[in-house]
Structure 1
């Protein structure tokens, strides 16, 4: 992002704040017509990106937009202004039946090209390439032989489908509507949480809870990053926010740079899995599936806790093996310092209560945001000045702008996949490769999502993979009564984990830059610490108790089985349970962990007994061996 100077800096700042304030107002008092709201959303955010982000990292001015940037900015706003002005005609026209006029053709091309360029600059070139490939497939897909062959499309049909079909997909499709309404207000809530000092509460709480134990800095990173993730919803921004503090602290007490970066990136990525404010993809899931967001929170809660349990276990075993010290006592905040900000939890409670009472997500976030401002006034240390309130609005606007074009680009991809029948074709290819086997289908779909996540952010990766794979999972999983939420949670988890997996892992690369470590090695360690996500993702399909379904015994058994499996995994990888382990014992524990986690043909009581028996047996053997060594002649007492 550019570092603007002079009056333009304040103009852009005020622009972002005003745009966010209007979204907050709509969230509480009702939105205009859908096409109007979507046009307004893109009108206020797309031009801003051309002023804030240079076209090229080295050749473009760093402190001011060029003449071409101004041309791009003006051009990017024209199509959306036209849609807002003519919203009634756009809403009333019959798609693919009413004439698509030359004016619409020109405006549609301008909208598509400017969104592609905004994505390239401000989000990810890989996503821009994917959108361009989707459009090219609509144009020339009829030349592709075999299963991927598509019918011919005229240029007018391509532009109309990608731009002006608000009921199906494209720039003004339902995905843009979700961002412009629900997600935008949650972004605002997250920014007000940061402005109020809730981040300080989370950081102090993490240090007070975990800092006194072996490897304390890493455990502080895990707890703090998980809490921060409820505010940001972005794994990369989470790494940058918390990693600048936790990574140097971990390295100072003895963690290798790549390991410290891996711990931080795995912890930060998990923030998108942690209720009550999960990543943007979770809100998209609620709208796509028409499942209340409160139900998604309940389904995600146990899996998120297990994810962080596994990271803490891995960090603990690593710290014991390396003999790492806790955080120095003088650096651990006293509990009275933590409790001084405890009132800032109230708005989070307001949000959760409203969501569970089935209020709309946008109103719940609106009310929680206002309550955050009011509750912060209770203590001088958290009180927000008018300047801080406006700055929180501006930061929310700056966060929303890249997200707006990201989702618009994803809408174009979904529109192309739907119009060409690629969703059916690609789904058929995966189904054919799976050969009717649900486990193989799930592995192929997980790999597809991870590959998509190499080049595009979590939300569009989830959207595209869900469109391709969920119908196949529901078809092959019918015998297990797999439902829509289970299938979508599976895809969602792997879309989130893509930020940790090599060879391209955005969160791990950001952590590597802070740690000054190898990006690839950091990504490998990040995948190791995030291993719980891979196991929990499959558990959503085979162990519904993980989603808080069934009786109390079933839920407790499913959670205990997964906790045992994850303890076996992490212990085997670190080579430590209560004492060092040789490679044969590590392989035994790792193999047992895989069996407990994935051999669902074994009855649940047997899986639980196997996990507990193996952990108890190895722990008892190590304790006995330690006593024998302590009692041996010549042993130091």
Structure 2
């Protein structure tokens, strides 16, 4: 992002503030007709992308170039036309909402503006999001032009250029202004603004101090503080990279100072920050997309995510504890641990969070609940003098929220375009046929193929876009195997998030490595090991609804315990410590054994709990006996001499 100066800075900030105010207004007072809502959404944010993000590394970093200004102006035109033609404005060639798609003609003005819109969204994706997503969408659009020449399952009838532009620009359910963009223009936008207010109000300081107070004195205290604070902060921010920089700036140096290896400290931060997107009550933008796609209430999704997120962070804490014990690390310096009075002096900053959660519990929409959470932010900040928000602070947070919306809005628009490519050509059905033929009747094999696909997508594509594309091609396949809809979508959602912590391209690991000054690949390997609970939980969703709280209490408790104990064994195998250091011949079988006991759905759940517990107890006693013999050995040697 450019570091703008002077009047350009104030212009960009004003547009960003206007975008935030618009989305707050519609979030609290009611949205426009869908086409109008989405058009204004992109009318404000698409031009901003060319002002905020340079085209190349050699482009000016403090001001837009003449080309950037030209692209920004061009970006206004297709969105303005779309808005005023939604219900028949004075300058429209057709009333877009009343069109018969693929039947009514595409007028020359619409063909021209649609082509401009497609090119500008691709360029904005390349600049502001990632060239990978831009390339993926461009590949999909290119495929539409040559479908009649493709072999096998890639073949489709000839699609005229006018129909391609119509699909991307004039369709109301697909393409640039489709339902995916609608989600970012309503629910997601308001929560991004809420996150900007939370981050700017000092809640990060509260979570860090609380983590220090709770876990700072324990062995390897800074790492455990980082896990706790990232879990708390991540549930509000919903962004793994934002979480890394918000909490890692404090915790990574503290971990290194205490004695943790640099790449381990970065891996802990990356895996913990990634987990914030699966931690209720807010989670990531993908959770709101899931609610819209599945028509399952967001409150139900957030509740179903609780057990899995607890297991995820439980394994990270256990792994950190084992590593600290193996290295014989101590806790934080008592002088660095805040008193409860210091922690509690910021606790009033959580009032907006409770307002938001309370509103959702009463049945209000997530956007409306977040709106009232933001409204409660200013008066609650005035409960203490050191946290008071003044008009300048509010404007700064509104500007931050508007800037943060640009990336998500573009990612959703790009994902909507790519899904349109898959849908109109029937590639979703073709992919389903390929996976089904390869997997046969094996649900786990189908899950592995889908997980690999989503992980590859997620390595170069933002979480929200990866989930949207993965859900379009993967969730229906799992449902054909009898997996419930919520379970299938949570499976895809988990792996789209875990891609951020999976080498070779893991953006959270790259961000953490930049703070720790270590190899991103080494940090990514550690993050992958620490995140293995997410992989296990994801596959658990395929055979059981217990971890989604969709079963009897006996099954829910049993499945949770089976996973918790089994994942502890996996952590011991990965990091070489249980009660004492473990030899390699013990570590190697512990990893597959723990994963097997977590996922062996053919065995009774309480039988798996008993087996995992027996192994853990036996391992503990054997190591205890070995430690006793080691302590007694010197005494015996003296007696012999």
Say whether 1:178 aligns with 2:179. Answer: no
CA distance in structure 1 between the partners assigned to 2:352 and 2:474 by the alignment: 37
What does residue 473 of structure 1 align with?
478
Whether contact under 8 Å (1:163, 1:412) holds in the other structure is no
CA distance in structure 2 between the partners assigned to 1:636 and 1:290 by the alignment: 72
1:49-69 deviation per Cα after TM superposition (whole angstroms, max 9, x unaligned)? 111111001x21111111101
Q: From the superposition, tell whether residues 631 and 41 of structure 1 become closer, same or farther in structure 2 (CA, over 3 Å).
A: same
Whether contact under 8 Å (2:184, 2:409) holds in the other structure is yes
Say whether 1:38 aligns with 2:30. Answer: no
Residues 543-582 of structure 1: pairs in structure 2 closer than 5 A: 543-582=544-583
- CA deviation after TM superposition for structure 1 residue 635, in Å: 7.7
CA distance in structure 2 between the partners assigned to 1:16 and 1:361 by the alignment: 22
What does residue 71 of structure 2 align with?
72
Whether contact under 8 Å (1:196, 1:373) holds in the other structure is no
Alignment match of 1:266 (pick from 248, 258, 271): 271
Alignment match of 1:138 (pick from 134, 144, 155): 144
What is the DSSP-based 3-state SS (H/G/I as helix, E as strand, rest coil) of the residue aligned with 1:246? helix
Say whether 1:244 aligns with 2:249. Answer: yes
Whether contact under 8 Å (1:238, 1:268) holds in the other structure is yes
What does residue 103 of structure 2 align with?
97
CA distance in structure 2 between the partners assigned to 1:591 and 1:33 by the alignment: 53
What does residue 159 of structure 2 align with?
153
Whether contact under 8 Å (1:195, 1:389) holds in the other structure is no
1:118-162 deviation per Cα after TM superposition (whole angstroms, max 9, x unaligned)? 110011000000000000111112211111212210000111111
What does residue 90 of structure 2 align with?
none
Say whether 1:339 aligns with 2:344. Answer: yes
Say whether 1:121 aligns with 2:122. Answer: no
Say whether 1:301 aligns with 2:300. Answer: no
- CA deviation after TM superposition for structure 1 residue 542, in Å: 1.7
Aligned residues: 631
For the aligned residues, what is the CA RMSD?
1.3
What is the DSSP-based 3-state SS (H/G/I as helix, E as strand, rest coil) of the residue aligned with 1:498? helix
1:488-532 deviation per Cα after TM superposition (whole angstroms, max 9, x unaligned)? 000000000000111111111111111111111111111011111
Structure 1: 5+ residue stretches without partners: none
CA distance in structure 2 between the partners assigned to 1:83 and 1:334 by the alignment: 56
Residues 515-530 of structure 1: pairs in structure 2 closer than 5 A: 515-530=516-531
Residues 152-551 of structure 1: pairs in structure 2 closer than 5 A: 152-167=158-173, 169-476=174-481, 478=482, 482-551=483-552
1:39-91 deviation per Cα after TM superposition (whole angstroms, max 9, x unaligned)? 0000001101111111001x211111111010010011110011112121111
- CA deviation after TM superposition for structure 1 residue 345, in Å: 2.2
- CA deviation after TM superposition for structure 1 residue 553, in Å: 1.8
Q: Which runs of 4+ in 1 moved over 3 A?
A: none
- CA deviation after TM superposition for structure 1 residue 634, in Å: 2.5
Whether contact under 8 Å (2:307, 2:548) holds in the other structure is yes
CA distance in structure 2 between the partners assigned to 1:114 and 1:532 by the alignment: 40
So what's the TM-score if we normalise by structure 2?
0.97
Residues 12-51 of structure 1: pairs in structure 2 closer than 5 A: 12-51=12-51
Say whether 1:109 aligns with 2:107. Answer: no
CA distance in structure 1 between the partners assigned to 2:4 and 2:540 by the alignment: 48
- CA deviation after TM superposition for structure 1 residue 379, in Å: 1.4
Whether contact under 8 Å (2:204, 2:247) holds in the other structure is no
Q: From the superposition, tell whether residues 633 and 455 of structure 1 become closer, same or farther in structure 2 (CA, over 3 Å).
A: closer
Q: From the superposition, tell whether residues 635 and 515 of structure 1 become closer, same or farther in structure 2 (CA, over 3 Å).
A: farther
- CA deviation after TM superposition for structure 1 residue 241, in Å: 1.7
Whether contact under 8 Å (2:236, 2:281) holds in the other structure is no
CA distance in structure 2 between the partners assigned to 1:150 and 1:377 by the alignment: 62
CA distance in structure 2 between the partners assigned to 1:558 and 1:353 by the alignment: 29
Q: From the superposition, tell whether residues 118 and 633 of structure 1 become closer, same or farther in structure 2 (CA, over 3 Å).
A: closer
Whether contact under 8 Å (1:350, 1:368) holds in the other structure is yes
1:230-288 deviation per Cα after TM superposition (whole angstroms, max 9, x unaligned)? 22211112112211221111111111111111110000000100000110000000000
- CA deviation after TM superposition for structure 1 residue 26, in Å: 0.9
Q: From the superposition, tell whether residues 245 and 633 of structure 1 become closer, same or farther in structure 2 (CA, over 3 Å).
A: closer
CA distance in structure 2 between the partners assigned to 1:607 and 1:224 by the alignment: 32
CA distance in structure 2 between the partners assigned to 1:533 and 1:591 by the alignment: 15
Residues 594-605 of structure 1: pairs in structure 2 closer than 5 A: 594-605=595-606
CA distance in structure 2 between the partners assigned to 1:633 and 1:255 by the alignment: 31
| Higher deviation after alignment, 38-47 or 356-365 | 356-365
What is the DSSP-based 3-state SS (H/G/I as helix, E as strand, rest coil) of the residue aligned with 1:634? helix
CA distance in structure 2 between the partners assigned to 1:51 and 1:234 by the alignment: 23
What does residue 617 of structure 1 align with?
618
So what's the TM-score if we normalise by structure 1?
0.97
CA distance in structure 2 between the partners assigned to 1:524 and 1:163 by the alignment: 42
CA distance in structure 2 between the partners assigned to 1:610 and 1:86 by the alignment: 65
What is the DSSP-based 3-state SS (H/G/I as helix, E as strand, rest coil) of the residue aligned with 1:172? coil
What is the DSSP-based 3-state SS (H/G/I as helix, E as strand, rest coil) of the residue aligned with 2:386? coil
CA distance in structure 2 between the partners assigned to 1:35 and 1:340 by the alignment: 45
CA distance in structure 2 between the partners assigned to 1:629 and 1:524 by the alignment: 34
- CA deviation after TM superposition for structure 1 residue 543, in Å: 2.6
What does residue 632 of structure 2 align with?
631
Whether contact under 8 Å (1:27, 1:185) holds in the other structure is yes
What is the DSSP-based 3-state SS (H/G/I as helix, E as strand, rest coil) of the residue aligned with 1:87? coil
CA distance in structure 2 between the partners assigned to 1:243 and 1:64 by the alignment: 30
CA distance in structure 1 between the partners assigned to 2:200 and 2:40 by the alignment: 26
CA distance in structure 2 between the partners assigned to 1:633 and 1:454 by the alignment: 53
CA distance in structure 2 between the partners assigned to 1:251 and 1:308 by the alignment: 21
Whether contact under 8 Å (2:206, 2:343) holds in the other structure is yes
CA distance in structure 1 between the partners assigned to 2:9 and 2:589 by the alignment: 60
Structure 2: 5+ residue stretches without partners: 88-94
What is the DSSP-based 3-state SS (H/G/I as helix, E as strand, rest coil) of the residue aligned with 1:499? helix
CA distance in structure 1 between the partners assigned to 2:544 and 2:342 by the alignment: 41
